[in-house]
Chain A
Amino acid sequence: MKNKTKRVFWGFFSLDYKAMGEYLEEMAEKGWMVEKVGRYIAKFRAIEPKKIKFYVDVFKEGGPLTPEKTESSEEYRKLCQESGWTFITSQDYLQFFYADGDIEPVPIQTDEEIEQKIVEHTLLKNELRGVFIFAILAVYILVRNIPVKYTNLLNFTGVTTTFLYPILCIFTAIPAVYSIILMIKARRNIKNGLSITKPTLKSARRRIIAFYGSTWIIVLFYTLSFIIDAFFMPGIVVYVLLGPGIGIIFGSSIRYLVKKNKISKDSVLNYIVVGTIILVIFMQVAGPSILEKNEEIYKVDSVPVGYPIITLEEISKESNQKGELSRDFRQSMSPIVPKHHTYYEYENLGHSSKSIRIKYYEAINTYFADIIFNGITKELEKGMKWQGMTLFEKIIITDDEMRKLWDMDNLALTEERDEIIIQKGNIVLHVDNYTGVMDFNDKETRELIISRFFSGSTVEN
Chain B
Amino acid sequence: MAREQLKNLTEPMYYILLALSEPQHGYGIMQEVERRTEGRVKIGAGTLYNLLSRFEEEKFIVQLSEENRRKTYTLTDEGINILTEEYQRLKQLVSDGSDFLEGRVR
Q: Hey, which bits of chain A sit against chain B, CB under 8 A?
A: 57, 59-60, 71, 74-76, 78-80, 82-83, 85, 106-111, 113-115, 117-118, 121
Contacts and interface: CB of A to CB of B under 8 A. Distances in A.
Given A83-B27, A83-B30, A106-B30, A78 B69 contact: yes
A109 B1 contact: no
B45 A108 contact: yes
B103 interface: no
B48 interface: yes
Helix, strand, loop or mixed for chain A's interface? Answer: helix
Nearest to A71: B69
A118 B26 contact: no
B47 A82 contact: no
B43 A57 contact: no
Given A82-B27, A106-B30, A111-B12, A76 B45 contact: yes
Which of A79, A80, A121 gathers the greatest number of chain B CB atoms within 10 Å?
A79
Contact of A110 (B26, B47, B70, B71): B47
Interface residues of B, number: 19
Contact of B46 (A76, A78, A117, A121): A76
Contact of B44 (A60, A74, A108, A113): A108
A121 B53 CA distance: 15
A110 B44 contact: yes
A458 to B, nearest CB: 65
The 10 A-B residue pairs with the shortest CB-CB distance in the complex, in nearest-first order: A110-B44, A82-B27, A108-B46, A80-B45, A79-B45, A83-B45, A79-B26, A106-B42, A111-B47, A108-B44
Interface string B7-27: 000101000000000000011
Interface of B: 1, 10, 12, 26-27, 30, 42-51, 69-71
Contact of A85 (B45, B47, B48): B45
B1 A107 contact: no
Given A82-B27, A110-B12, A111-B10, A57 B69 contact: no
Contacts of B49: 75-76, 79
A79 B72 CA distance: 12
A79 B1 contact: no
Nearest to A110: B44
A60 B3 CA distance: 14
A83 B26 CA distance: 10
23 contacts: A76-B45, A76-B49, A78-B69, A79-B27, A79-B45, A80-B46, A82-B26, A83-B27, A83-B44, A106-B30, A106-B42, A106-B43, A108-B44, A110-B12, A110-B47, A111-B12, A111-B44, A111-B47, A114-B47, A114-B51, A115-B46, A115-B47, A118-B1
Given A111-B47, A115-B47, 7 more contacts: A59-B46, A75-B49, A76-B46, A80-B45, A108-B47, A109-B46, A110-B42
A74 B47 contact: no
A117 B44 CA distance: 16
B72 to A, nearest CB: 12
Contacts of B44: 83, 106-111
Contacts of A106: 30, 42-45
